[in-house]
A and B are shown apart, each in its own frame.
Chain A
Amino acid sequence: MSEDLTRRALLGNVARGTVLLTLAGGAGFLIRKANGQVVWQVDAARCLNSRLGEVNVEACSLCTSACVVALSAVRAVNEYSKCGRCNVCPAYFNITSAVDEHGLPSEKLCPRDAITRKAIGKVDPEDPANNFYEYAIDEDKCDGCGKCVMKCKEPLGLGSITLRIRYDKCVNCNRCAIATACPQSALLQLPVEQAIRPPEVRRLGL
């Protein structure tokens, strides 16, 4: 009887040890491959709003509606170093609206009024058309609808505004709902360092 018990105990130990070794081995294998966190990011070269080709097309707002977070984790981000700082910005103004008395379009494009316009550099006090303007997007108001991105795209603009996922808002789902919904398959999983690099948007050459 006692022999039977010790044999069972031994078998139990062996079984536990084997499973433990398998788990440890598997974990070790996975840890050796471990490369830090991967996060989702929008590929500007595939996103319909920022890729070259389609002009005069309705902006795609799936990033806004598909995200599981209430105010989508996707925001329009203006890469300042690539912005033209133009007087009449097609992403800020609705350039198809009537011109007001200052010679600028009377309506703004952003439905949530998230873009601000500020004169920068050497300011000409007499002629406002003679200035550079900085356009900043307020990320608390932006919902990633993509209208400004579509208008900033070449050839109308310089393509400095793109849709990006903001990681302080993104939950980093295994299965990103936007990635599943996007008809252009424009969402990729990248290591964090790669994902936060500015996008290399295709531009029309000179």
Chain B
Amino acid sequence: MQYRQVRVIAGRFRAALRGVAVDKGGHIYAAGDSEIKVFDAEGALARNWPTAKPALSVAVAPDGSVYAGEPGQIEIFDTAGKLIDGWRDEKLLGFVTAIGFTNDSVLAGDVGGRAVRRFDRHGKLLNTIGKDNPVNGLLICNGVVSFAVDAQGVIHAANPGKHRVEQYASDGRLLGHIGRFDGVDPAGFTGCCNPTNVAVGDCLYTTEKAGPRVKAYDFSGKLLTIVAEDAFDANCKNMSIAVDSSGRLYVADTVKLAIFVFEEVAA
């Protein structure tokens, strides 16, 4: 299983590039500075609109609306970029660094509470996932909660302090975990707190800092391949990652402020 770099979308952000998502049509959504930018599959800018606060993450709901995670709130826009709704809660939505969807609810990562919050479509809190579960819960020294929801509705949350990706059910039960620390073997996660971000497609993708790299694992925890190692700036941290339906990967380089697109090479 080999990947090659297809495209780089660069020069679009001034100060920060924090989140990346992709919709069913292959459009790339990027959250950075204080705006959301939408690119088409070739990398040309299609739309962009500002957010009220610095945009930390972005996700596209199954119905096409765009959710932007910000400090203390989530803003919901339609596909054209018009603001439809906003959920504000300083306690429950400390720093929303990841947003995901199950079939009936919206999941938001809360850095302040070190947890994943599950809301219904109207913004009412249903339950909290990952908090102190067990004991100390998500150990996120990088200041980012990252998770992804797979086709079965299982939430794969990165727990970098433990060097694991943990699987939770949407009611909060811990189902299992994969991954271990290893500073020598590339199959393990190195450094103090890795992986920083995760994405889920046919397999599990992780991004790491300090020796930034993107890896692909199967759901039992076996390393499938190292997608990319040398493409990123050495000082990258918290590289957001997204997968589209065809298995293409979109990784945000937080120092070069560019989106790298990787495609699997047919063997």
A56 to B141, CA, bound (A): 21
Are the C-beta atoms of B181 and A84 separated by less than 8 Å? no
Q: Which of B18, B136, B235, B254 contacts A130 (CB 8 A)?
A: B136
Cβ–Cβ < 8 Å partners of A103 in chain B: 180-181
B221 within 8 A of A: no
B139 within 8 A of A: yes
Closest-by-CB residue of A relative to B164 is A129
Contact-residue size bin, chain A (C-beta under 8 Å from the other chain): 35 or more
The main secondary structure of chain A at its interface with chain B is loop
Q: Do A86 and B136 contact each other (CB < 8 Å), given the known contacts A55-B234, A155-B209, A206-B16?
A: no
Are the C-beta atoms of A95 and B183 separated by less than 8 Å? yes
Q: Do A53 and B181 contact each other (CB < 8 Å), given the known contacts A88-B192, A95-B190?
A: no
Q: How far does the Cβ of A25 sit from chain B's closest Cβ, in whole Å?
A: 54
Cβ–Cβ < 8 Å partners of A205 in chain B: 16
A159 to B134, CA, bound (A): 28
Cβ–Cβ < 8 Å partners of B56 in chain A: 206
Task: List 27 A-B pairs, Cβ < 8 Å.
Answer: A55-B210, A56-B234, A84-B193, A85-B141, A87-B181, A88-B181, A90-B192, A90-B210, A95-B183, A96-B183, A96-B184, A97-B183, A99-B188, A121-B136, A127-B162, A129-B164, A130-B134, A131-B135, A132-B136, A155-B209, A155-B234, A156-B209, A157-B192, A204-B255, A206-B18, A206-B56, A206-B238
Closest-by-CB residue of A relative to B136 is A130
Given contacts A99-B182, A105-B181, A206-B97, 8 further A-B contacts (CB under 8 A): A90-B192, A99-B188, A121-B136, A122-B135, A123-B135, A127-B134, A155-B210, A155-B234
Cβ–Cβ < 8 Å partners of A87 in chain B: 139, 161-163, 181
B237 within 8 A of A: yes
The main secondary structure of chain B at its interface with chain A is loop
A95 to B188, CA, bound (A): 12
On B, residues with C-beta under 8 Å from A are 16, 18, 56, 95, 97, 132, 134-136, 139, 141, 143-144, 161-164, 180-185, 188, 190-193, 209-210, 212, 234-238, 254-255
Q: Which of A86, A124, A127, A132 contacts B193 (CB 8 A)?
A: A86
Closest-by-CB residue of B relative to A121 is B136
Q: How far does the Cβ of B37 sit from chain A's closest Cβ, in whole Å?
A: 18
On A, residues with C-beta under 8 Å from B are 52-53, 55-56, 84-90, 93-99, 103-105, 121-124, 127, 129-132, 154-158, 204-206
A89 to B95, CA, bound (A): 25
Closest-by-CB residue of B relative to A85 is B141
A88 to B189, CA, bound (A): 11
Are the C-beta atoms of A89 and B192 separated by less than 8 Å? yes
Cβ–Cβ < 8 Å partners of B182 in chain A: 99
Are the C-beta atoms of A90 and B191 separated by less than 8 Å? yes
